[in-house]
Chains A and B, each alone.
Chain A
Amino acid sequence: MNAPVIWIIFPGLLAGLLLLGRRAERITAAAAAVVALVLAWTAWQVPIGEALAVGSFSLKIAANLSVFGRDFVLAESLRPFLAMLYLVTAFWILGAYLAKPGNLFIPLALAIVSLLTAALAVEPFLFAALIIEIAVLLFIPLLAPPGKAASRGVFQFLSFQTLGMPFILFTGWMLAGVEASPSDLALVVRAGMLLGLGFAFLLAIFPFHSWMPMLGEDANPYVVAFLVFVLPGAVSLFGLGFLNRYTWLREAENIFVVLRSVGALMVVVGGGLAAFQTHLGRMLGYAAMLATGFSLLAIGLGGASGLELYFALFLPRALAFVFWGIGLSFFLSQSQGGLSFSAVRGLGLKFPFMAGTLLVSQFTTAGVPLFAGFPPRYALLNTLAGVHPAAAVSALIGSLGMLVGALRTMTALLGTPKGDAARLAGKPGGWVFLSAEKPQLLMGVFFAIVCGLNVMVGLFPHRFYAAFAHLLPMFDKLLP
């Protein structure tokens, strides 16, 4: 038994099986969620590379698997991350049951997660760029499902992600040369620029971000939410791998300043443009830019505190994007013409709990106090203010922009639709908080869970965020 078989090959094979039986949606969702939870529990409980006594048997999970002379290694230090990854995957799978993003979603999401796990495990680690590209290709049927024409955003997404891969692979080779002769300044500059360009494509750094709002507008919102949660997360972990691996890179004079500056730019552009959107899907795209920007700001702080904040930002991002995706999917199914403000105007009056779910997600992304996004955001801003005040101000501006976007969403959802103003005037009965209808009650329970989770994390951050300290050994060289 070895770890890559358990956490890469098994979920990959299961994804193939579920793809065949995807028409039985309940069974598919239940099987995938149970397996993801079991994998998370196994990663949490069973050590890798150590003998474990089970009754009279002795079980040892080996860390590596050799394929064509190259290794896939899931070391003990990755175990907490695997537990978190599969727990979050189970969360997304259960969310998909509510959001109904199409019957391809659950099998392909499981396949994508197993590929991204393979990307973290492959040695030499820069081959991860190829595996991430294969995961990107699996996103395409989700973004352009059967029966729906593909938008320009899909082609831009495919093009930019594919163009990023060669830069990373080529730079990987150059970095080995730089490590051998770090005094060769020309080589260092060349490698640094190519690496930066590669990650700019993969992380949708400004100005290569255009596919995010485009997809937000045209593709299924739950798929887009999953995409902007999982892909930048995997790519940024891959980027941290570069910093962890190459001494000259993490000791380069300006690397962390560059990371903070790019992060600040992403936050300002993402938050600033989110404030002016009149389409809820496009706003999700810009919110994703904001989240990527905050991750870069955290990495740019360097050291253990930066790394801890980087991991801590995962939790509010997961909570916000899952529920944002569910909320948008719901409103998409209820509106007549998409997710523009004019199309959803007044739907908040009819479905206040779902409107609440969406708004809580947006407030979490904006880092509003009491919600899950606030504690790591506050800690980040506090640290950043001492190191790079301009970046801290940019982060505040970006958060403020997102907050404005959330408030505008609230106004749109709670506004009266054109033509209905007269009909609804003086009719407070238009507000349906709780009715005897079962769906409305279910929505209320769902909203209570969303709000409860967010506020619990926001009010008692230490209970939740302390767990992220276990993830730090993944990048041991970045720790002091």
Chain B
Amino acid sequence: MSIASLSVPALGLLLFASITVLVIRDWRWSIAALSLQYLGGFLLVATVWPANLAVVKLVAGWMSGSVLGMTLLSANPSEAGAAQIWPTERLFRVLAASLVVLVMFSLAPRTVEWIPGMGLYLASGGFLLMGMGLLHLGLSVQPLRVVLGLLTVLSGFEILYAAIEASALVAGLLAIVNLGIALVGAYLMSRSPEEQAG
């Protein structure tokens, strides 16, 4: 089985994971979904990059998730897991996410036309994550949520950019940026425990 045949499951994984990150407020589930997001991203990137280079994105992403998770776990575990969300808010987020999914999936085929080497699944996955990340940034102000939004936007961009640039230096720098955002997020969360749950 070639890695390209995993594109559809990878896209499904991205869809499920990005909606989970947006809708579920428990930080444990959010970080687990973020890790799935990076797995989906890796599978898509591996269709255009050698697997040994693409795995850098997976490792950097999972490390970012670990950094955030460990910070939250050590800071105030009892409060952090207790975030409440109204059912109507959840419904609103699902509806907003559906709109973003529609817009992004309609944008992807056009992009494929003007970027050679960009497959439909790659474009759809990239735009999906960028859209979801932007939506997340627009809906949240809490440190964890802002960081999750930024990491989601970046991983979407990385999927798109993989189709046009396969440099080891760029892969390394993007991994540093991902880890840097996670570290900065952990640093900022460690000073405002009351906001972590977000």
Contact = CB atoms under 8 A, between A and B. Distances in A.
Interface of A: 67-70, 127, 130-131, 133-134, 137, 140-141, 144, 146-150, 152, 154-155, 158-159, 162-163, 165-166, 169-170, 173, 187, 190
A137 B177 contact: yes
Contacts of A165: 177
Interface in B123-144: 130, 137, 141, 143
B155 to A, nearest CB: 11
Contacts of A146: 191
Nearest to A131: B173
Contacts, number: 85
Q: Which 5 A-B pairs have the closest CB atoms?
A: A166-B157, A137-B180, A130-B173, A68-B169, A70-B169
19 contacts: A68-B168, A69-B167, A70-B169, A127-B170, A134-B173, A134-B180, A137-B177, A137-B180, A141-B187, A144-B187, A147-B191, A149-B192, A154-B188, A155-B146, A158-B181, A162-B154, A166-B161, A170-B161, A173-B164
B193 to A, nearest CB: 10
Contacts of B143: 150, 155
Contacts of A154: 188
A227 to B, nearest CB: 15
A130 B176 CA distance: 9
A163 B177 CA distance: 12
B184 interface: yes
B159 to A, nearest CB: 11
B141 A152 contact: yes
A145 B78 CA distance: 26
A268 to B, nearest CB: 28
A12 to B, nearest CB: 13
B169 A159 contact: no
A159 B137 contact: yes
Contacts of B161: 166, 169-170, 173
B177 A127 contact: no
A162 B148 CA distance: 13
Contacts of B79: none
A191 B60 CA distance: 30
Nearest to A145: B191
Nearest to A148: B191
Contact of B173 (A127, A147, A150): A127
B77 interface: no
B188 A150 contact: yes
Interface string B53-71: 0000000000000000000
Contacts of B170: 127, 130
Nearest to B156: A166
B176 A159 contact: no
B150 A140 contact: no
A248 B194 CA distance: 52
